[in-house]
C-alpha cells in the first residue's frame, strides 16, 4: 500500500500505537524526510535570538518536536530489526545517513547550546522540577564533551582528532577481522578429530569442501574455534589454534594487519582530546556521564573484588591442575589446555543435560511465572491486550495499577525468524510524557503512557501431542534472557517521570543501566519461583530439586577465576586510559604484565597479544568503561540482597521501595542517589560474591 498524501502516511500518525497494519516501506522516505525538515524548521525558530531561553518557550517545544522524529524513526528501526526483508532494509538504509547527519548537526549546534546554557545559568532554573533540571544539565554536559566550549583556535584540532579516532577504531576492527579470516587449520588425519561433536566435524568438513580440499578445515571464528579448545583431544590442534588466535593482528603476522601502532595512536589521541577538554586523562572524560565518580574509586573497587575473589580463584586453578594431571595426564597444564580441562572437570562434577532441563520450561508456564513475579513485586496487573502487530507471532499486553488504570503496554515477540536480528533486546515504542492539550475549553494535561518492544530469538513450538500442538520449550539461559529484557522493559514502563529525556532508561548512567535487567535475572535462580514456573512438557511435573542443585553448582563453576579475569581486563583498561603515558618508556604490554602480576591466577604465554584484539576498548564504546560489567553486577546483586535480608524474594515493602526509588525515577536522579535511597547505604560487593558461591568460610 502506498500512501501518497502525507496526511495518510501511517508513520506520521503518532496519536497512538504504531500502525503496523498500515505501514509499508514506501512510507519511510516521505515521512522521515518530512519530520527531518519539520525538526530543522523548529530548530531555526527556537534558536532565534527573540526566543526566550526558558523551559516553556524553548526546551519543551524542542523536546516535543524531536520526540516525533525519534518515535517515527524508532518504528522504522524496529521493523528493520524484526522484519529485515530487502524492501525494509533498503528503506531503512536509505534514510539512515540523513537521520545520522541530522543528529550530528544538532550536537554541534552552538545556538542550541547557548540556549540550554542560558537556562542552566538563569533565574528560572531553580524553579524547574528536578527532572527538568537534569535534562538541561545533561544537554549542557553533552555539548561540552562534544567540544562546544573550546576556544575557536582549538576546534579544528578537536574535530580532526575525533575523525582520526573514528577511522582508527574502524581500522582496528577491520584488521582483527581480516587477521581472523586469514588463518585456517586443515586437518587431514581423522584421529585428530577425537572428542569433537559431530556437528562441528560436519561443519569443518563442509568448510574444507568449499575450498576444494579434502579433510577438515578449522578457523578462528567462534563456532569453530571454541569447540576445538573445549573438546578436541588433540593437544597439537588446540595448541596451534590457540597460538593463532592469541597472536591475531600482531607483529607476527602481516605488517598491514598489525594493530600495535593503532593502539599507541588511539591512546595518544584520546589523551590529547581529554587535555583539550580540560581533563587530566581520557578516563576522567569517560567517567563524566557515568555513575562511578573517579578513577581511584574504581581502582579501589576492582582491587577489593580481586582480593576477595582470589582464594576462590586459586582453588579453581589448583582443582584444574590437579584434575589435568591426575585424570588427563596433562602436566604441566598449558594455556591451550585450560578450556579443555575445564569442560572435562565440569562434566565430571556436575553433568546434567541442557536438553533435560529444557523439558520443564514450557512457554505458558514461564510467562505466567514471569508475570506473577512482576505482579507480586510491583503491585500491578498484566493482561492480554489488542494492537496492530508486525507478525502473527507477536503478542501484546497491558500493565494496570490495582485501580485498573493503564500504566503501560508491551509487545512480546519471542520466536526466532530468518528476518529477525539475532539476540534479545528491549526497545521503546513510546515514552512516558506529559502532554499539554489545547482545547476550546482551555489547556489541560494528560500523560502519554509508555510502550515497549520485548524481542527474543527462542525456538518456536514444534510437533503435536494428542492432536494438539506442543508448547514451545525454553532453555534456562533463554528464560534468564527473558527476565533480563523484561527488567529493561519495566524500567521503561514503570517510570513515573514525565520528561522524556530522563524518563525510564533515558539519562540513566551507562554503568548503572543494567541494574534492573540483571536484578530480574535473580528470580530465575530462586527455587520457589522455579517450582511455580516449570511443568514438564510430558509429565507436567515441576523441576526436581536435585537437577536444580546441579544447575546452581554449574553456574558457580570457576566463578573465582572468571571474576579475576574480568578484573584483569578492567584494571588494564582503566590504567591504560589514566596514568599510562603512550609516549613514555613503558609499553602497553608491560602495563598488562604488571596488571597480571597483581591480579591474575593464570598467566598466558609471553607471546600472547591480548591488547591487539581487545575490541571492546579500542573499537567499541568501552574505553575506560570495561569495569562497568562488574560494577552493574554488584549493584543488581546488592539490590537483590535487600530482598534476601527481608527473608522473602517478594517482600512487599522492599518491592515498593525498589519501584519507588529505582525503577520509577529512572534517569531523573543520579544512580548513586537512587541506590542509596533504596539500600540506605553505598553498594557492597558481598551479595555478588555470595550469589557466585564465593562465601568465605
Chain positions contacting Zn ion, by CB under 5 A:
517
Say how many residues make up the chain.
697
- The residue assigned the cell 506442543 is 470
Instruction: Tell me the residue number closest to Zn ion, measured at CB.
Output: 517
Question: Considering only CA atoms, which of 7, 4, 28 is closest in space to residue 78?
Answer: 28
Give the nearest distance from C-beta 425 to Zn ion in angstroms: 8
CB-wise, 9 or 517, nearer to Zn ion? 517
Residue 488 Cβ vs Zn ion, minimum distance, rounded to whole Å = 6
Report in angstroms how near the CB of residue 412 gets to Zn ion at its nearest: 17
DSSP-based three-state secondary structure for 173: helix
Min dist. Cβ of residue 604 to Zn ion (A): 29
d(CA 233, CA 220): 18
Q: Which is nearer to Zn ion, 53 or 634 (CB)?
A: 634
Q: Alpha-carbon torsion 159, 165, 171, 174, what sign?
A: negative
User: DSSP letter at 362?
Assistant: B
Q: Which residues are catalytic?
A: 485
User: Do residues 473 and 363 lie in contact, with contact meaning Cβ atoms separated by under 8 Å?
Assistant: yes
User: Helices 545-555 and 338-350, interaxial angle, to 10°?
Assistant: 160
Least gap, CB of 626 to Zn ion (angstroms) = 16
Q: How far is CA 456 from CA 135, 223, 572, 613, in A?
A: 32, 21, 34, 29
Query: Cβ closer to Zn ion: 259 or 517?
Result: 517
Least Å distance, CB 82 to Zn ion, is 18
Q: What Rg value do the Cα atoms of the chain yield, rounded?
A: 27
Q: Is residue 573 classed exposed, middle or buried when 0-12, 13-18 and 19+ CB atoms within 10 A define those classes?
A: buried
User: Which cell numbers hold the place of 259?
Assistant: 594493530
Which one, of 10, 2, 1, lies nearest residue 388 by Cα? 10
Q: What are phi and psi of 60, to 5 degrees?
A: -65, -50
CB of 688 to Zn ion, least distance (A): 17
Which residue lies nearer to Zn ion by CB, 499 or 633? 633
**Choice between 262 and 508, CB closer to Zn ion:** 508
Distance between CA atoms of 541 and 360, rounded to whole angstroms? 8
At closest approach, how far in Å is the CB of 292 from Zn ion? 18
**Cell triple for residue 602?**
593464570
Pick from 557, 563, 558, 562: nearest CA to 352? 557
**Measured from the CB of residue 484, what is the shortest distance to Zn ion in angstroms?**
6
What is the DSSP annotation of 587-626?
-HHHHHHHHHHHH-SS---TT--GGGG-HHHHTSS-TTTT
Q: Cβ of 383: how many Cβ atoms within 10 Å?
A: 11
Decide whether 192 or 633 has the Cβ nearer to Zn ion.
Answer: 633
Q: How far is CA 109 from CA 69, 98, 115, 130, 379, in A?
A: 18, 16, 10, 25, 44
Nearer to Zn ion, 306 or 505 (CB): 505
- Looking at the Cβ atoms of 345 and 429, the one nearer to Zn ion is 429
Closer Cβ to Zn ion, 517 or 628, answer by number: 517
Tell me the closest approach of the beta carbon of residue 17 to Zn ion, in angstroms: 25
Cell of 75: 518504528
- For Zn ion, which is the closer residue by CB, 518 or 558? 518
Alpha-carbon gap, residue 333 to 570, rounded angstroms: 26
Closest to Zn ion by CB, 185 or 511? 511
Report the alpha-carbon distance of residue 481 to residue 495 in Å, rounded. Answer: 22
List the grid coordinates of 210.
568449499
Long-range contacts made by residues 487-491, C-beta under 8 angstroms, separation at least 24?
A: 487/516, 487/517, 487/518, 487/519, 487/520, 487/521, 488/426, 488/516, 488/517, 489/410, 489/426, 489/452, 489/454, 490/374, 490/378, 490/516, 490/520, 490/663, 491/516, 491/517, 491/663, 491/666
Rounded to whole angstroms, how far apart are CA atoms 346 and 351? 7
Amino acid at each position: 500500500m502506498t500512501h501518497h498524501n502525507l496526511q495518510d502516511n501511517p508513520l506520521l500518525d503518532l496519536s497512538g500505537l504504531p500502525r503496523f497494519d498500515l505501514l509499508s516501506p514506501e512510507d519511510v522516505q516521505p515521512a522521515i524526510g518530512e519530520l527531518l525538515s519539520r525538526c530543522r524548521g523548529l530548530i531555526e525558530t527556537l534558536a532565534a535570538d527573540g526566543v526566550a531561553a526558558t523551559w516553556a518557550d524553548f526546551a519543551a517545544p524542542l523536546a516535543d518536536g524531536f520526540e516525533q522524529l525519534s518515535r517515527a524513526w524508532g518504528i522504522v528501526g524496529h521493523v528493520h530489526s524484526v522484519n529485515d526483508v530487502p524492501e525494509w532494509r533498503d528503506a531503512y538504509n536509505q534514510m539512515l545517513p540523513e537521520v545520522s547527519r541530522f543528529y550530528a548537526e544538532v550536537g554541534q549546534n552552538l545556538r542550541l547550546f547557548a540556549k540550554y546554557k542560558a537556562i542552566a545559568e538563569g533565574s528560572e532554573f531553580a524553579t524547574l522540577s528536578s527532572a527538568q533540571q537534569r535534562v538541561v544539565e545533561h544537554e549542557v554536559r553533552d555539548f561540552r564533551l562534544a567540544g562546544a566550549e573550546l576556544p575557536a583556535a582549538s576546534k579544528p584540532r578537536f574535530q580532526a582528532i575525533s575523525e582520526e579516532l573514528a577511522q582508527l577504531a574502524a581500522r582496528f576492527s577491520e584488521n582483527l577481522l581480516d587477521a581472523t579470516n586469514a588463518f585456517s587449520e586443515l586437518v587431514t588425519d581423522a584421529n585428530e578429530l577425537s572428542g569433537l561433536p559431530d556437528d562441528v566435524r560436519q561443519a569443518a568438513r563442509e568448510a574444507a569442501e568449499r575450498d576444494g580440499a579434502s579433510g577438515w578445515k578449522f578457523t578462528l571464528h567462534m563456532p569453530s574455534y571454541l569447540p576445538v579448545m573445549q573438546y578436541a583431544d588433540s593437544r597439537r590442534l588446540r595448541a596451534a589454534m590457540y597460538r593463532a588466535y592469541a597472536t591475531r593482528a600482531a607483529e607476527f603476522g602481516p605488517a598491514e594487519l598489525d594493530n600495535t601502532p593503532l593502539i599507541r595512536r588511539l591512546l595518544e589521541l584520546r589523551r590529547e582530546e581529554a587535555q583539550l577538554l580540560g581533563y587530566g586523562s581520557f578516563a576522567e572524560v569517560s567517567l563524566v556521564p557515568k555513575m562511578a565518580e573517579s578513577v581511584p574509586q574504581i581502582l579501589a573497587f576492582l582491587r577489593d573484588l580481586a582480593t576477595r575473589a582470589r582464594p576462590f580463584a586459586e582453588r579453581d586453578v589448583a582443582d584444574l591442575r590437579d584434575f589435568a594431571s591426575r585424570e588427563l595426564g596433562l602436566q604441566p597444564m598449558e594455556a591451550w589446555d585450560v578450556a579443555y580441562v575445564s569442560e572435562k572437570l565440569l562434566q565430571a562434577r556436575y553433568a546434567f543435560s541442557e536438553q533435560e532441563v529444557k523439558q520443564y520450561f514450557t512457554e505458558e508456564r514461564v510467562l505466567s511465572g514471569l508475570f506473577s513475579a512482576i505482579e507480586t513485586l510491583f503491585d500491578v496487573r498484566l493482561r492480554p491486550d489488542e494492537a496492530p502487530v508486525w507478525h502473527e507471532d507477536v503478542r501484546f499486553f497491558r500493565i494496570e495499577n490495582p485501580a485498573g488504570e493503564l500504566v503501560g503496554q508491551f509487545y512480546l515477540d519471542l520466536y526466532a525468524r530468518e528476518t529477525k536480528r539475532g539476540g534479545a533486546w528491549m526497545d521503546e515504542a513510546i515514552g512516558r510524557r506529559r502532554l499539554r492539550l489545547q482545547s476550546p475549553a482551555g489547556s489541560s494535561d494528560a500523560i502519554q503512557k509508555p510502550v515497549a518492544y520485548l524481542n527474543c530469538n527462542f525456538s518456536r513450538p514444534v510437533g503435536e501431542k494428542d492432536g494438539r500442538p506442543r508448547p514451545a520449550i525454553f532453555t534456562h539461559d533463554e528464560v534468564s534472557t527473558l527476565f533480563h529484557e523484561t527488567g529493561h522493559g519495566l524500567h521503561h514502563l514503570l517510570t513515573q517521570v514525565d520528561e522524556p529525556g530522563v524518563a525510564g532508561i533515558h539519562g540513566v548512567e551507562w554503568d548503572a543501566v543494567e541494574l534492573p535487567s540483571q536484578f530480574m535475572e535473580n528470580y530465575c535462580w530462586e527455587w520457589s519461583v522455579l517450582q511455580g514456573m516449570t511443568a514438564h512438557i510430558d509429565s507436567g511435573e515441576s523441576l526436581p530439586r536435585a537437577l536444580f542443585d546441579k544447575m546452581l553448582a554449574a553456574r558457580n563453576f570457576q566463578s573465582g577465576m572468571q571474576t579475576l579475569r574480568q578484573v584483569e581486563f578492567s584494571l588494564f583498561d582503566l590504567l591504560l586510559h589514566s596514568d599510562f603515558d603512550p609516549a613514555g618508556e613503558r609499553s602497553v604490554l608491560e602495563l598488562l604484565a604488571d596488571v597480571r602480576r597483581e591480579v591474575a591466577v593464570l598467566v598466558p604465554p609471553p607471546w600472547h597479544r591480548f591488547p591487539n584484539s581487545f575490541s571492546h576498548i579500542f573499537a567499541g564504546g568501552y574505553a575506560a568503561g570495561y569495569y562497568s560489567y562488574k560494577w552493574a553486577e554488584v549493584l543488581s546483586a546488592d539490590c537483590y540482597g535487600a530482598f534476601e535480608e527481608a527473608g522473602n524474594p517478594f517482600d512487599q515493602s522492599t518491592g515498593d521501595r525498589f519501584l519507588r526509588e529505582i525503577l520509577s525515577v529512572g534517569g531523573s536522579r543520579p544512580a548513586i542517589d537512587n541506590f542509596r535511597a533504596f539500600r540506605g547505604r553505598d553498594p557492597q560487593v558481598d551479595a555478588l560474591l555470595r550469589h557466585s558461591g564465593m562465601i568465605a568460610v
